[in-house]
Structure 1
Amino acid sequence: MHLPLTPPDLTALLAGLAPADLAALFNRPEPPSPLVDGRYLHWDELRHREPPAGLTHEHWWVRIKLARQGLYKTLPLLDRDGQPFVLGVPEPIQIHLHHIDRDAAGQIATASPMHGEHRDRYLMHSLIEEAITSSQLEGASTTRRVAEQMLREGRRPRDASERMIFNNFRAMEMIRERRDEAITPAQVLELHRIVTENTLDDPADAGRLRRDDEVTVREVRDNTLLHQPPRWRELPERLERLCAFANQAEDASPYVHPVLSAILLHFMLGYDHPFADGNGRTARALFYWAMARSRYWLVEFISISHFLRQAPSKYVRAYLHTETDDNDTSYFAIHQLDTIRHAIAALHDYLARTSSEQRQTERLLAGSLRSRLNHRQIALLTHALRHPGEEYRIDSHQRTHGVVYQTARSDLLALESLGLLQRFKAGNAYVFAAVEDLRERIAELAASFERPGT
């Protein structure tokens, strides 16, 4: 990975300007702006662009940097040298926050697909997606199909990759259960223990802070050092400080928007790298916890790791831009806000697609047959039409829809009695699969129920 070039020192640049040059720098017709064409650029990108007429790259950077300093809030979070991190809220961040506040918080509309009977199915989909992709970011190699079957069926993991995914799923479930609780050092350690259980070289490292300074962040391909975390002896105090920030009241100073606070928790846990392994997974899980505590309910249904995995170098670069430019976390905040909004848009696309597919299935079922099936059975038939050959088990149907075992069993047996599923034995359990001519069988069955006397 190309390491970003550290910006020139602002104090040195200002000291090197003659009084007349300094006056000319600030008497230009256009006001200084923290942005370049609407973007919050790092020096490493800025130096490759054509500066405004009459400015060198260095003088252009002076104007930009001074405009940014006017926006900075000093955070109660420190780098490894004891210097504070800062955060600015330029217009791109304000726009992102407006959309996320509008789309991810507030009340769930009664007409929303997230309301009522479909909620558990959509939630299971998102929990599985985040568990899989967060693990894949850290090297898990299990195929999506196998991983999804494991989680839906509740099967125990068979190898390290499956265990990593299984643990991530358990961590997301833990967050749902404890969303209203304070984030404490003990809770963070417990979260890490769940995420890393039976996946570490030394099992004792699960749920405890690292005990040496051997942990570094390096480029996988050429072993280039990307980040040297703080010293291990400082980690207990740093974790206490981080949790105090996570739980600070709304009237604390400086005020930090809840979404930005959650993003900063993600950033700092990744920066501190307080564990022997599993830091990234724990950091992303901590973000979800903070968002859930602040009542951003829609975030339960999105996967940020899905998008981080698509462009991992941008994820790393957001960290490096912050570290190389005076601890300015605005770079990381903008990257994560953009990721959250992409994830929300993807969720809406998924909802539109699944709702359309379900309506098509309901039209196919028609009249009397449709009235004999519940929403869970219709969802299963919709899935079976899209995935010929897929197998269904009572326990996976139970977990997908959040119902008791007997309800799930009755759903599948009823579909079998209608001739839409067939049942066979697999070990000690029954497995169901759609009949080969499912679409035709549904049409015939629907027609038969419309005949007089049926």
Structure 2
Amino acid sequence: MDASLFAKMLSDKSIIDLKKLGYKYPQADLKEFVALLGSGLYKPLLLKDFNGKNLVYLDSVAQVQLSAAKVLLTPQSSSQIYGRKAMEDEILSTFSIEQIDTSRDSVRKILSGYAPTSESENRIYGMKKGLEFISDPQHTISEENIHQLYALTIGAFLPQEDQLLPGHKYRHDSVYIVGDKVEHTGLPWQMLPEYMDGLVEFIHQEFAMNDLLKAALIHFYIAYLHPWFDGNGRMARLIHLWYLVQQRYSAALFVPLSEYVEKSRRGYYNAYKLTEQNAQISGVMDVTPFLVYFIENVYHKLVSALPDPNTTETFQNALARGNVTEKEQALWQFVLTAYGESQFSTKQLEKDFGNAAYATIRGFVLKFEKLGLLRSAKYGNRMKYQIAKSV
């Protein structure tokens, strides 16, 4: 292939869509182009496709900005194991992606400690248990713990025909993802123990790959293998978060990653389809399209996901000067984890916090508004507050 043509194709944004690339450069031989990528530009991964060949990616194309990692590494001042508002949104979004009906009121009820009273609330309870499980740093990623996570989160709430056989960690039959046609066939079930063992080994291996990309790759691979009859998407997103927690990304459980996926749901599913479509053309399972999707639609959207650093610094300064009481500190931490960017009223905060008189709540919001940590907005006769983004 002519060097100038190869360079032009290599720098084209359509490089992650071989079919489109072929239309744009009809004079090019795509197989020759892919062979040239394989001679030094594709980076092989220690995971196998269904034919036993290594997955690959283009690290020159899949580049994560440092700001995304900084957001997820930001220490959280809360004493809670996860951000309540983030987990509320995580549960709602992960169900919405899979078109499972639920409501915010039901999620809030279960997160507040109430017992489930319906099938929908049982599923929410399962997700709550799963999020608590991955929040515990003692729960390292292993096949046994993945099985326990699945049983806690999904397996206990499945109809009989979708449940695992006794002694089985994975499905015992074929599975197909069907739209207008069969869009994906999961790995033959007999091969799942070997491939899942390989995935766990890969997770714990030192490998020259950005942590955020590795988390997205793990996410892809779970859905690609489809180890269970149901709940594969939820498990892929949970294990994605779990890996980040294990890598000490302390803010991972204070950011609802699934909310960003839900907002770009079509792109999410298209990234899976594009990866497999490219593989049909090239014979190579290049996961770059899925990694690029996560970079552009999730990781690079996280910059505004947590409180402005200036806001955090202002609070720390007020605390150091002795201007914040112990109760006010607890209320501030609750507001950060329970509401995030959302607005709240004093009555709502009194009800949700449950351990402070209304006069204390009222004094807190007025004081923290004066400090510049909260800002208010009037709606008729009602006032609502939210965390200030900058001070």
8 Å Cα contact 2:65/2:300 also seen in 1: no
Q: Which residue of 2 aligns with 1:41?
A: 16
Matches within 5 A, 1:432-443: none
8 Å Cα contact 2:81/2:135 also seen in 1: no
Q: Which residue of 1 aligns with 2:369?
A: none
CA displacement 1:240-272 (0-9 Å, x = unmatched): 11111111135xxxx333222222211111011
Aligned: 1:280 with 2:237: no
- Distance, in Å, in 2 between the alignment partners of 1:321 and 1:130 is 26
Q: Which residue of 2 aligns with 1:331?
A: 289
Q: Which residue of 1 aligns with 2:101?
A: 141
Q: Which residue of 1 aligns with 2:113?
A: 154
8 Å Cα contact 1:131/1:166 also seen in 2: no
Matches within 5 A, 1:199-348: 199-202=157-160, 204-205=163-164, 208-213=169-174, 215-219=175-179, 222=180, 224-250=181-207, 255-325=208-278, 326-348=284-306
Change (3 A) 1:143 1:355: farther
- Distance, in Å, in 1 between the alignment partners of 2:4 and 2:362 is 80
8 Å Cα contact 1:140/1:164 also seen in 2: no
Q: Which residue of 1 aligns with 2:344?
A: 386
Output the TM-score relative to the length of structure 2: 0.76
CA displacement 1:30-53 (0-9 Å, x = unmatched): 83553314x6430233355xx4xx
8 Å Cα contact 2:346/2:362 also seen in 1: no
- SS of 1:296's partner is coil
Q: Which residue of 1 aligns with 2:129?
A: 170
CA displacement 1:195-222 (0-9 Å, x = unmatched): 1144211274398311111x21112xx3
Q: Deviation of residue 392 (structure 1)?
A: 5.2
Q: Deviation of residue 146 (structure 1)?
A: 3.2
8 Å Cα contact 1:377/1:415 also seen in 2: no
Q: Deviation of residue 378 (structure 1)?
A: 6.3
- Distance, in Å, in 2 between the alignment partners of 1:121 and 1:289 is 13
8 Å Cα contact 1:34/1:65 also seen in 2: no
Q: Deviation of residue 352 (structure 1)?
A: 4.7
Alignment root-mean-square deviation, CA: 3.9
Q: Deviation of residue 169 (structure 1)?
A: 2.0
Matches within 5 A, 1:7-26: 25-26=1-2
Q: Deviation of residue 27 (structure 1)?
A: 4.6
Aligned: 1:57 with 2:14: no
Identity of aligned residues (%): 19
8 Å Cα contact 1:71/1:88 also seen in 2: yes
- SS of 2:41's partner is coil
Change (3 A) 1:89 1:414: same
Q: Deviation of residue 334 (structure 1)?
A: 1.1
Q: Deviation of residue 354 (structure 1)?
A: 12
Change (3 A) 1:306 1:439: closer
Change (3 A) 1:31 1:164: same
- SS of 1:386's partner is coil
Q: Which residue of 2 aligns with 1:194?
A: 152
Which amino acid in structure 2 is aligned with residue 98 of structure 1?
L
8 Å Cα contact 1:32/1:63 also seen in 2: no
- Distance, in Å, in 2 between the alignment partners of 1:32 and 1:66 is 16
- Distance, in Å, in 2 between the alignment partners of 1:199 and 1:388 is 37
8 Å Cα contact 1:87/1:330 also seen in 2: yes
* Structure having greater relative contact order (Cα 8 Å, sep ≥ 6): 2
- SS of 1:205's partner is coil
- SS of 2:115's partner is coil
Matches within 5 A, 1:38-117: 40-47=15-22, 51=24, 56-59=25-28, 61=30, 65=34, 68-69=37-38, 70-90=40-60, 92-94=61-63, 96-105=64-73, 108=75, 114=76, 116=77
Change (3 A) 1:257 1:341: closer
Matches within 5 A, 1:441-452: none
Structure 1 residues without counterparts, runs of 5 or longer: 1-24, 109-113, 363-368, 398-407, 421-435, 441-454
Change (3 A) 1:88 1:128: same
Q: Deviation of residue 122 (structure 1)?
A: 7.4
8 Å Cα contact 2:68/2:300 also seen in 1: no
Which amino acid in structure 2 is aligned with residue 239 of structure 1?
M
- SS of 1:93's partner is coil
Structure 2 residues without counterparts, runs of 5 or longer: 279-283, 366-379, 385-391
Output the TM-score relative to the length of structure 1: 0.66
- SS of 1:212's partner is coil
Change (3 A) 1:210 1:336: same
Which amino acid in structure 2 is aligned with residue 277 of structure 1?
D
Q: Which residue of 2 aligns with 1:449?
A: none
- Distance, in Å, in 2 between the alignment partners of 1:385 and 1:133 is 19
Change (3 A) 1:391 1:149: farther
- SS of 2:7's partner is coil
- SS of 2:83's partner is helix
Q: Which residue of 1 aligns with 2:370?
A: none
